Structure 1
Amino acid sequence: MSQPIQLRVILADHDVRKLVLPSGIPETVDNLHSVIRDAFYIARDFSLDYKDVDFGEFFTLFSTTDVKDKDTIKVVFLQNQEPEITLTLTDVTNTVTDVTNTVTDVTNMTDQPCEQHSVDDTASVSTDDTLILSSEDSPGHRSQRWPARFSIPSISGLKEIQIQSGNESFKRDGIVLSTKYLIPLLPDILGKLAEAIYEYTAYPSSLQISEVAEALTQKHPCFKEPGSFNGSYGWAQRLKYKMNNFRSKLRGLGCPEVKVNSFKRKQTHDHYPAKNLKKPKKAEVNYLPPHAQGETTASLEKEREELLSEIMKRDNSRVVAQKMAKTFSLRREEIVKEVPAISDCMKRWPALFTEAQINEEFKRITTVSLESTFLAKLDQCTPEIDGLDPIKRRSCRPENKAD
């Protein structure tokens, strides 16, 4: 049986922990990575460094054979690597500017009159598309995904001054804010955090709740809990209860994203809070948005009926795109609540199955451009595929893979 091993784990400059491994050092770095992540409840992605005895410096850990009893391990948090930059590839305004500049340069070089009607047509279409996308930025429509680092909102008034005073006392003396002063602040703090979370999702996951709690204690160290393993466990539990209460208020206000899960809309045998819960998946931002101001289900149904005739007309993509954007909330309501068959969707929303509207609907739901994201990922994989040997490249083809 392996002997217990003790490791000194550095999580931050002022956060050093002791880790006991009863079964000894794991065989692989991935296993050690998982043990440290679970032991300290680390939500962000990170790598591991070990302190070399000979050099006295930290080196990247590639093998657990370099780790011995009472060695020092350093957790190095990685930068966010989500492809937000792919959104810039869909910037229509920049594309139009580049095309216009190109035509201007060609005109200057040739000193010949150049017809600008083709560029103007492109610009007009691009402007229309931009207006369609901006029309979705109405109350209830989210325009951004969960951030890589959650920003903690400020609390106005004397309470913010009190919190800053507590932070200064913590930096000077290392003393956290006492319960006597913390309890009066809880309603305002949790209320602000719940509103900030709802800007991204009404149903945050446990990981997202932990990220918010960790961000809170990092911004305001006076809120850290001495008895907690990461200083923010209690805040995560408070936020979970607060989001439950916050959703109850939203349900009373008629928020469709929350109201769809009320007991009144469930069958008798489904009267359980977590049964058949309809909530966004990982990438869905606008899962069930409310109707735009002044619109009702009846008015949007008329728009849908007009859309059936508009799609039959030639060169009418601009009007179709506008009506598809306008009826987005009605379409999501049908899909989420009724879960219709694909054949029924094709009859009611034939425009949804065109190439252009597939891209637009994906962007409306996730705020991410489908085509440009796919191409960007493909560009990242292309050098690796090109670098393979011919024999390995042929083995990657679908026809060479077993069923």
Structure 2
Amino acid sequence: MTNPAILRVILGPDNSQRVVISAGLPVSQPPMQPQMKTQCKIMTPFRLQFMDPLFGNDFVNLTSIEEIQDKATLKVVSGDSTLILSSPESTSSRSSWPDLFLVPSFKENGMLLIPDPKLKSDILEGLIQEVVKHTVYPTDRKFDQVAEALILGHPCLKEKGSPSGYAGWKMSLKYKLSNYRTHLRKVGCPEVCVNALKHKPAEKCSPAYDVKRPKRGEVDYCPAFPLGESEQSLETIRIELLSDVKKHNNRDTIKDKMNKTFSLRRQEVIYDALMISELQERWPALFDPAEINTEFKRITTMPLQSRFLSQLNFLSESLLTVFAKRSGKQGKMLKDMMMVRTCQLLSNFFNYQV
């Protein structure tokens, strides 16, 4: 029987606790993180650091489990702080779904095999840790992409008798992610808690009813509150914003406070389904053109205006063809608008030539 591993985990100044891993230290870092989240009640993305004796016991990033042993001291560092340092405008804890899903590496002998329960669990845990970097509610097609990427990267895991070669892996991934969401719900992850039964109508109290999940393009869908902030503290900042928007030359202050209250705003939109008029009353700064662009980037990680204009330029020829084929009153209105625009462009061209 494997002896449990005991770790001292530092969560902040004057805040540390003991974490017990009943199965002992795993072979890689991903299987250990869910237990850290559950026992330490960590709701935001994080990375681990360990005391490195080579550098006078200073804390350095943990890249391999082989660097620590039983009774080691680890330190939790918020993943959000790293993201903000690299991009002041972004607080996203997730990234968009990749075109090609990258499967984490693990030891295998290159031959067709049926993995034992522990190896299979480690493989699934590693895959889930990669999936949740992008979403905790992947679509069926995305499960297909992950399972297919697994057997393409490790042909020895291809299933005999399965038309796709990965049907069993796909089903196991779904169950594993469902269990992972249960752990996230226990530690209060808002993206999962929003779908708890207590938030659903009594007459339609079913897990499958009205599941709130990111729509296409949404990346940072329902983030947790920043470290050190609560609903009350963020509400205080929101009230301050109501007077800040009335002041002149106050753009930097508004931008900073809107960035800090992003999580509160998203939870209001998702949990309470605010009407536009209510949103405008509570968050007037959000309806400034510059802030609309910034909010879009916070949610999707992509710029709104430049992306829209580039796509408009790309599709302009097709749009003009469609406009030219329209008839009736609408067609005449479009032709008149196109004529005015053509005259403006010609006028600008000749003025430039002169």
TM-score using structure 1 length: 0.58
Relative distance call for 1:322 and 1:203 in structure 2 (3 A) is same
Q: Paired residue for 1:148, among 76, 79, 99?
A: 99
The equivalent residue for 2:330 is 399
Q: Does 1:376 align with 2:310?
A: yes
Cα drift, residue 394 of structure 1: 2.9
Cα drift, residue 136 of structure 1: 3.9
Relative distance call for 1:367 and 1:145 in structure 2 (3 A) is same
Cα drift, residue 339 of structure 1: 0.8
What is the aligned-residue RMSD (CA, Å)? 2.2
Structure 1, residues 200-250: CA drift from partner, whole Å, max 9, x if none? Answer: 001010000000000000110000012111211111111111111110011
Relative distance call for 1:401 and 1:364 in structure 2 (3 A) is farther
Q: Does 1:209 align with 2:143?
A: yes
Contact 1:395-1:401 within 8 A present in 2 as well:
no
The equivalent residue for 2:58 is none
Contact 1:225-1:231 within 8 A present in 2 as well:
yes
Structure 2 CA distance for aligned equivalents of residues 337 and 401 of structure 1? 45
Structure 2 CA distance for aligned equivalents of residues 309 and 206 of structure 1? 46
Q: Paired residue for 1:288, among 222, 225, 248?
A: 222
List runs of 5+ in structure 2 lacking aligned partners. Answer: 1-83, 334-354
Cα drift, residue 396 of structure 1: 5.0
Contact 1:270-1:276 within 8 A present in 2 as well:
no
Structure 1, residues 186-213: CA drift from partner, whole Å, max 9, x if none? Answer: 1111111111111100101000000000
The equivalent residue for 1:326 is 260
Structure 2 CA distance for aligned equivalents of residues 279 and 378 of structure 1? 28
Q: Tell me the SS of whatever aligns to 1:276.
A: coil
Structure 1, residues 279-301: CA drift from partner, whole Å, max 9, x if none? Answer: 11121111110001000000101
Structure 1 CA distance for aligned equivalents of residues 247 and 102 of structure 2? 47
Amino acid at match of 1:381: L
Cα drift, residue 358 of structure 1: 0.9
Structure 1, residues 98-148: CA drift from partner, whole Å, max 9, x if none? Answer: xxxxxxxxxxxxxxxxxxxxxxxxxxxxxxxx97953644xxx33520000
Relative distance call for 1:360 and 1:135 in structure 2 (3 A) is closer
TM-score using structure 2 length: 0.66
Q: Tell me the SS of whatever aligns to 1:134.
A: coil
Amino acid at match of 1:145: S
Structure 1, residues 309-368: CA drift from partner, whole Å, max 9, x if none? Answer: 111111221111111111000001111101122111111100111111111111111111
The equivalent residue for 1:186 is 120
Amino acid at match of 1:400: G
Relative distance call for 1:401 and 1:132 in structure 2 (3 A) is farther
Q: Paired residue for 1:134, among 81, 88, 97?
A: 88
The equivalent residue for 1:53 is none
Alignment of 1:3-402 (within 5 A): 133-134=87-88, 136-137=90-91, 141-155=92-106, 160=107, 163=108, 165=109, 167=110, 169=111, 176-177=112-113, 179=114, 181-384=115-318, 388=321, 393-395=323-325, 399-400=330-331
Amino acid at match of 1:320: I
Q: Report how many residues are paired.
A: 249
The equivalent residue for 1:99 is none
Structure 1 CA distance for aligned equivalents of residues 261 and 100 of structure 2? 33
Relative distance call for 1:246 and 1:189 in structure 2 (3 A) is same
Relative distance call for 1:143 and 1:194 in structure 2 (3 A) is closer
Amino acid at match of 1:227: G
Structure 1 CA distance for aligned equivalents of residues 204 and 276 of structure 2? 25
Structure 1 CA distance for aligned equivalents of residues 278 and 272 of structure 2? 11
Q: Tell me the SS of whatever aligns to 2:124.
A: helix
Amino acid at match of 1:134: P
Cα drift, residue 395 of structure 1: 3.0
Relative distance call for 1:201 and 1:186 in structure 2 (3 A) is same
Q: Tell me the SS of whatever aligns to 1:236.
A: helix
Contact 2:89-2:294 within 8 A present in 1 as well:
no
Structure 2 CA distance for aligned equivalents of residues 401 and 142 of structure 1? 49
Contact 2:222-2:267 within 8 A present in 1 as well:
yes
Structure 2 CA distance for aligned equivalents of residues 265 and 384 of structure 1? 45
The equivalent residue for 2:63 is none
